Amino acid sequence: MTNGTHISEEDLALHALQALTAEESAAVQAHVAECEVCRAELAAATGDLALVALSTEPQPLPEGARDRFLSRIAEDAKQAGAHPKLAKIIPFNPAAVSRVSVWAPKVAVAALLIIAAGLSWEVMHLDMRLRRETAVLRSMTEKNARAQAVVDVLTAPAAQRVLLTAAKTPPAPSGRAVYLPSTGALIFQGNNLASLPADKTYELWVIPANGSAPIPAGLFRPDATGNASVVLPELPKGVPAKAFGVTVEKASGSDTPTAPILLAGAAPTAGE
């Protein structure tokens, strides 16, 4: 059935349902190949029917249903006066098509939005959890590595263990250094140290055995009991120590020791 120059929506829907004969379908295809309006209407009808098919479970047709349906089409086409090229194409139930075209796309879109929202929330939740667990793992790894480095220095057979003492009356300031030349790892503990003005600080020095310039090994200030420590400062590797010393420097530290040296201790040679 046509409405002037175009095939009706009902006839296009029948074609999309494959309810036409081969001759009738060929006529529809020949028309839509040249008619942009009918081609767009056919695409829309095909999309709506596909949504309906996806939203319902397929059921087998009753026996003889197709033949009865085609016979009814032929009879109605004769009564309504069919298009010359589409003699048996008749309108089917427009109300049914209207209802399908209205609610089927809306239901499909709503379902997709619900699924998309759920997936988005799940992805965001998993991402946040992964970030937290990664941060915890990184922190634990760093703490374990530092603890292992401390144990390695304190238990290494090649570490140089030095007691630093003052030459004056007790309670005399003292310091003890444990140094591993191969890795440059150093741990220093000072005791009975005098408090300093705010613009001053203590500085630890490594005196290399090869006679090169003293190496700054860290700044420290004692607590209320006179105790202080330097743990794993950044030092070059592979520098055996001849001695260690402690001086008082300006708050920002110094590149060379400032006399006098308050604490000093000689490092034992290899094998001692």
| Dihedral pair phi/psi, residue 191, rounded to 5° | -135, 150
Instruction: State the average pLDDT over residues 124-130.
Output: 86
Is 132 buried (19+), middle (13-18) or exposed (0-12) by CB count in 10 A?
Answer: exposed
CATH architecture observed for domain 160-266: Sandwich (2.60)
Taking alpha carbons only, the member of 67, 84, 87, 85 closest to residue 76 is 87
Residue 196 has pLDDT above 60, yes or no: yes
For residue 63, the model assigns a pLDDT of 63
Cβ proximity of 220 and 201 under 8 Å: yes
**What radius of gyration, in Å, describes the C-alpha atoms of the chain?**
46
More confident residue, 127 or 183: 183
State pLDDT tens for residues 89-110. 444 444 444 444 545 555 566 6
Does residue 205 surpass a pLDDT of 70? yes
Domain boundaries, the chain: 9-92, 160-266
Tokens standing for residue 64: 């003889």
Please tell me the distance from the alpha carbon of residue 160 to that of residue 107, in angstroms, as a whole number.
Answer: 78
Mean pLDDT for the stretch of residues 245-261: 96
Q: Cβ of 62: how many Cβ atoms within 10 Å?
A: 8
Q: In 3-state terms, what secondary structure has residue 54?
A: helix
Whether this prediction's pTM lies above 0.75 is answered by no
More confident residue, 210 or 9: 210
Per the model's pLDDT, the better-predicted residue between 96 and 75 turns out to be 75
pLDDT at 94: 47
- Give the pLDDT confidence of 7-43 residue by residue, as tens digits: 777 777 777 777 777 888 888 888 888 888 888 887 8
**What is the structure's pLDDT at 83?**
47
56, pLDDT greater than 90:
no
Listed ranges 108-117, 162-171, 182-191; the one with the highest mean pLDDT: 182-191
> Over the chain, what is the mean pLDDT?
80
